Amino acid sequence: MNTLSVSIIQTKLFWEDKLRNLAMLEEKIMGITEKTNLVILPEMFSTGFSMKPELLAESMEGETIAWMKRLAVSKKIILTGSLIIEEHGNYYNRLIWMLPNGNLGFYDKRHLFAFAGEDQFYTAGNKRLITSVNGWKINLQICYDLRFPVWARQQSEEQPEYDLLIYVANWPERRNHAWKTLLTARAIENQCYVIGVNRVGEDGNQINYSGDSMLIDPLGTVLFSNAHEDLIHQVELKKDSITEVRGRFPFWKDADDFHILQDEHHD
């Protein structure tokens, strides 16, 4: 119950080519030989960061969800990453949390990247997803959410809400300083582990991605970082170390009490 084994997949993506991406990712996932609890894929892992949801969106009964379920069950892993989902006439940048028993949870990206027009094509979510694994509580978010610290902020007075904060991303290389700085800040201010999983390579809009996938501990120390390589990195997190940090430096107890007011217009 103390350790959590995580596999980070930092990879190039084939632009708007679902079949090639799923075949490539399946080979990577099935090739993982170490025991792992959780495999993390980038944002929009089946297509790249596309603004063509009318062509690329799937339903929750579609091929990619079935693919995730098949791999999670066969490898006995949790598989997570985001993809384009259509539901009730709306399109979502939806993170799927697929469990090894075939059940799933999901999180719809709250902060849509207006700079690239994401808000013109997709509907924002309004609920966070904090899930539990092996005694760990994990907060799941997507890319641009990283710029909005209130959305990730621990909100519990009795004890911290979560132990690990995960961001899946297609974060461009030209703004990688912000990516690396904000991931570190989220770890320090929330006294939690942070994992950021980003893609590499160039997309169909000639935007370059350096990856810079990272693992950061609750004190803000970078335990892993890699730029530009196509890789699978295995990490093992220990619950004892986070408990020790929070006990020795109980800064979380002094946090401001606040509540997030939800918009009702997203539906």
Q: Which of 109, 118, 173, 180 is catalytic?
A: 109
Q: Of 40, 58, 46, 55, nearest to 21 (Cα)?
A: 46
Q: Of 170, 130, 132, nearest to 41 (Cα)?
A: 170
Q: Which of 18, 43, 180, 192 is catalytic?
A: 43
Measure the CA–CA gap between 217 and 213, rounded to whole angstroms.
Answer: 14
To the query of whether residue 143 is one of the catalytic residues in this protein, the response is: yes
Pairing of strands 104-108, 200-202: unpaired
Please state, in angstroms and as integers, the Cα–Cα distance from residue 184 to each residue in 44, 141, 147, 226, following that order. Answer: 23, 15, 12, 15
Q: Which of 143, 173, 180, 192 is catalytic?
A: 143
208 touches 214 (CB < 8 A):
no
Cα diameter, the chain: 52
To the query of whether residue 157 is one of the catalytic residues in this protein, the response is: no
Measure the CA–CA gap between 263 and 3, rounded to whole angstroms.
Answer: 37
User: Which phi-psi region, left, alpha or beta, contains residue 48 (left: φ > 0; alpha: ψ -120 to 50)?
Assistant: left
To the query of whether residue 109 is one of the catalytic residues in this protein, the response is: yes
- Mind telling me the catalytic residues? 43, 109, 143
